[in-house]
Amino acid sequence: MPSRPALWRDGARALLGALRTPSQSTEPLFARAPKRWQRFAPYVVLFGFAVTLLPTTTTVLIQDYELGGGWSGALATAQTAPLLLAVSRPLQAWWIIFTADVVGGILLQSADGLAGRPWPWTPMVIVGYLALMICLGLRESRRTLLAVWLATGAAGFFFELISQNRSDGTHLLLFVLSGVFLVVTAALRERGDAQRRLVEQETISEAERSRRTLLEERARIARELHDVVAHHMSVITVQADSAPYRIDGLPDSAREEFSTIAASARESLTEMRRLLTVLRSDGTDSERTPQPGLDRVQQLVEATVRAGVPAEVSLPAELGPVPPAVDLSAYRIVQEALANVVRHASGAPTRVSVVSDGDWLTVLIVNGPGAERTSPLETGGTGHGLVGMRERVRLTGGTLDTGPLPDGGFRVAARLPLTDANAPPAASAPSASLGSTDSTGTTDSTDVTGPAGPAQKDAP
């Protein structure tokens, strides 16, 4: 165990090292402030201190302390001008000012007008030094601030020893006030740093949460589409296996080709089951019921009406052939939009419309302003509703337009391709029409104006 003298030596060495090692940052104080006047404030304030203290110090040293004009001017400049340096390099400025203050105390000891006046620190020295303490507290580490405070006390104690009769207690006053200023400004700086780190962490957490929500929604959609793809692969397998029995006179090469197709289809089904196992590794139970489609939209609307929302639906008598992925995506979009109305705009009149022109399927859900909210709005953006809509539309190569209406309602409009010729690759699906999602999950559309409505937040 180190002896006490060794500990004292190590502590003193550490403090001296702190005085020789300024902060690595040399950016001006308040350089990251949001407003321009805040960034310029340190320059203005310290310039005001310098131009005020410089002539005042010179005059007081010459007229009151009767110090020579050359020494007075040099001391006044060394004690005040470095304040401008303190904006970006406060520790270097402290070395200059502290040295000048100590030299000034030594020179004033033999000045003719010292009797009855403050010594070793003049009032101007105390004011300038406290301004410098603020700059130090806003920039340097705790160890450096402790070393500066102890050096200030040591200098005052030195003058107290060499001339107790002339000392009037200003060294004790500066020692106490400098400690208070350093503690307060350091606490404010550390509090600001903690708040800034908290904001940065919240921003990172929000980005991670949004990314996780997107990945979860994509996995859920992939699990649903597995049933659709598996059905088609099963049909291919059955047709390939039964072709030799349904078609007479097939040559052996054709029979072998059908056998190969059936084997490949069965292998693909096996790989799809393995993929689905990976997607359901979080313990999600396998869905036993068939995936829904537009034929069940009427049931969704009826359930919404029973929940207290006056809703109506408009469906064509005959939609024609609808790709399974589009059929499922359209149903889920209607389902999520109606769930949002029930959750966030209870009693809002709602209309669901599905229109097909042969090439495109248009799904439109419009609700008016809600009479009341059945539950508080999500402020953390944890819902999947709008995220799921965007992903389903992107998957099919369509477009999505969501946004508030001028009357306080909300609109969701999806346009999905019914033919492969109209569906671009998923990666190149239009994204500008998807809007932007804020932290609460509300998607703003560039085509819609008006105040944000209460409905269509992200539903869980």
Sign of dihedral through CA atoms 375, 377, 380, 384?
positive
What b/e readout covers 193-216, taking b as 16+ CB neighbours within 10 angstroms? eeeeeeeeeeeeeeeeebeebeee
Q: What is the mean pLDDT of residues 219-238?
A: 73
Cis before 120 (ω within 30): yes
Q: Of 86, 110, 105, give the one whose Cα is nearest residue 30.
A: 86
Q: What is the mean pLDDT of residues 316-342?
A: 86
What's the full length of the chain, in residues? 460
* CA 350/CA 313 separation, integer angstroms: 9
* CB of 410 closer than 8 Å to CB of 444: no
Name which of 90-94, 112-116, 174-178 the model is least confident about. Answer: 112-116
User: 281-286 contacts: CB < 8 A, separation 24 or more?
Assistant: 284/223
* CA 384/CA 395 separation, integer angstroms: 16
Q: Between the CA of residue 180 and those of 118, 250, 309, what are the distances in Å?
A: 21, 100, 63
Return phi, psi of residue 415, to 5°. -125, 115
Query: Does residue 421 surpass a pLDDT of 70?
Result: no
Model confidence band, residue 279 (pLDDT cutoffs 50, 70, 90): low
Mean pLDDT of the chain: 80
* CB of 121 closer than 8 Å to CB of 174: yes
* CB of 140 closer than 8 Å to CB of 15: no
Query: Does residue 68 surpass a pLDDT of 80?
Result: yes
Sign of dihedral through CA atoms 123, 129, 132, 136?
negative
Q: What is the pLDDT of residues 29-63, one digit of tens each?
A: 988 888 999 999 999 999 999 999 999 999 999 99
pLDDT of residue 25: 81
Q: Of 108, 134, 137, 145, give the one whose Cα is nearest residue 123.
A: 108
Higher pLDDT, 372 or 89: 89
pLDDT of residue 293: 84
The SS3 call for residue 194 is helix
Name which of 162-171, 367-376, 406-415 the model is least confident about. Answer: 367-376
Sign of dihedral through CA atoms 169, 175, 178, 180?
negative
* CA 426/CA 449 separation, integer angstroms: 28
Query: Does residue 215 surpass a pLDDT of 70?
Result: yes
Angle of helix 324-344 relative to helix 297-306, nearest 10 degrees?
10
Angle of helix 90-108 relative to helix 123-137, nearest 10 degrees?
160
Return phi, psi of residue 295, to 5°. -65, -10
Output the CATH code of domain 294-444.
3.30.565.10
* CB of 81 closer than 8 Å to CB of 124: no
* CA 303/CA 331 separation, integer angstroms: 14
Q: What is the pLDDT of residues 126-151, one digit of tens each?
A: 999 999 999 999 999 999 999 999 99
The SS3 call for residue 400 is strand
Centre a 10 Å sphere on the Cβ of residue 180 and count the other Cβ atoms it contains: 11
pLDDT of residue 37: 92
pLDDT of residue 83: 95
pLDDT of residue 177: 95
Query: Does residue 449 surpass a pLDDT of 50?
Result: no
Provide the whole-model pTM. 0.54
Tokens of 267: 């292998």
Q: What is the pLDDT of residues 70-81, one digit of tens each?
A: 999 999 999 999
Higher pLDDT, 221 or 429: 221
Centre a 10 Å sphere on the Cβ of residue 411 and count the other Cβ atoms it contains: 20
* CA 18/CA 91 separation, integer angstroms: 10
Name which of 206-220, 235-249, 260-274, 432-446 the model is least confident about. Answer: 432-446
pLDDT of residue 6: 72
Sign of dihedral through CA atoms 380, 385, 389, 392?
positive
Continuous H helices in 142-288:
142-162, 170-246, 252-279
Model confidence band, residue 180 (pLDDT cutoffs 50, 70, 90): very high
Q: Between the CA of residue 188 and those of 107, 185, 412, what are the distances in Å?
A: 37, 5, 48
Q: What is the mean pLDDT of residues 289-300?
A: 81
Higher pLDDT, 100 or 439: 100
Tokens of 15: 């403090």
Centre a 10 Å sphere on the Cβ of residue 121 and count the other Cβ atoms it contains: 25
Q: Of 371, 295, 309, 375, give the one whose Cα is nearest residue 337.
A: 309
Tokens of 400: 């999505």
